[in-house]
Amino acid sequence: MKIGFIGLGNMGAPMAANLAAAGHEVWGFDQVDVTVPGVSITPSARDAAKQADVVITMLPNGEILRSVAHDVLPVMQPGASFLDCSTVDVDSSRAVADLASQSALLALDAPVSGGITGAAAGTLTFMVGGPMKAVERVRPLFDIMGQKAVHCGDAGAGQAAKICNNMILGATMIATCEAFALADKLDLDRQKMYDVVSTSSGYSWSMNAYCPAPGVGPQSPAENGYQPGFAAELMLKDLQLSQHAAQTVNADTPMGALARDLYARFVEEEDGRGRDFSAMLPRFEARNRS
Ligand code: NAD
């Protein structure tokens, strides 16, 4: 396939490289200078998009996605597909899907889980919203970039799944960190705490796969001085998206709101910016010492 890839950052660059390595013809564009193995860099987003069978975007937020979509949709080939893999608000995804259908193009929202390592290894999970016909068309690309693609429903359903997942993740990471900090105060050994909780009803991905306590459980950013991994500010962004969505549909999400507030304080007033989102643990330790 001919692929246009717009947004070649931490996630987009390895995803595009994997597509090129699998034999697809990939033209890429980013607003900053980049080099990506196997990808021909173009001078504009339009140049990357105009010959493509599929245009993929991996961008920071909904506003940028809307502006890129306005720019490239008019020059895309009739019948081509627009596949947005960024994490953005549901409204922006639906607006872009509407715009694409007006130009007789197929659009999908397909945010991912799996982070930078999953992008490099081609083991991402895609949560997909949009027409089944488009999903089938781009499935070979999902198979290269990821290990699983779940069709969640119509336009915006992929983003809905992503922000619900990350709302759970934010809340369980905070709960795991505050429990470790409480265990410290109760003189409970961290390894014993992990051994019990990881095989008991308090287990979660945050505890079992991404343990915030250094030296306990599998390898995680905690062993690396809490260098991200998944940055606290990206978690804050996703929690803000979930609360925006909850407000839009009048859903009651008190745990999500509290998680958003705690990550906002961590990033904006404490030392969370630039640290992994599991650095909530040293934050609780510091508060418990003061
Ligand atoms: P990033 O900041 O590394 O990459 C975004 C890229 O988009 C940058 O290179 C930037 O220059 C480019 N860009 C911005 N505006 C542009 C424009 N108008 N035209 C062309 N390029 C433009 O971010 P990332 O970590 O690669 O994340 C991308 C998306 O994936 C985000 O929506 C993020 O929430 C989501 N995501 C990230 C992770 C992660 O672990 N990093 C995990 C899952 C999902």
Kindly state if the Cβ of 282 falls inside 6 Å of ligand 1: no
Pocket of ligand 1 contains residue 114 by CB under 6 Å: no
Q: For residue range 171-180, what is the model confidence (pLDDT) as tens digits? A: 999 999 999 9
Q: 33 in ligand 1 pocket by Cβ < 6 Å?
A: no
Average per-residue pLDDT in the chain? 96
Mutate to test the pocket of ligand 1, among 5, 8, 30 (most ligand atoms within 8 A of CB): 30
* 184 Cβ below 6 A of ligand 1: no
H or E segment to which residue 14 belongs: helix 12-21
Which residue has the CA at smallest separation from atom 13 of ligand 1?
A: 7
| Residue 85 CA, ligand 1 centroid: distance in Å | 10
pLDDT surpassing 90 at residue 202? yes
Q: What structural domains does the chain harbor?
A: 2-153 (3.40.50.720), 160-286 (1.10.1040.10)
Distance 58 CA to ligand 1 centre (A): 5
Which positions ≥6 away from 11 have C-beta within 8 Å?
58, 85, 112, 116, 119
pLDDT at 228 over 90: no
Please give the average per-residue pLDDT across 192-220, as a whole number: 96
Residue 196 tokens read as 């019990």
Instruction: For helices 254-268 and 232-249, give the axis angle rounded to 10 degrees.
Output: 140
| Cross-strand partners of 56 | 5, 83
Q: What pLDDT digit, counting tens, does each position of 52-110 carry? A: 999 999 999 999 999 999 999 999 999 999 999 999 999 999 999 999 999 999 999 99
Euclidean distance between CA atoms 89 and 237, whole angstroms: 10
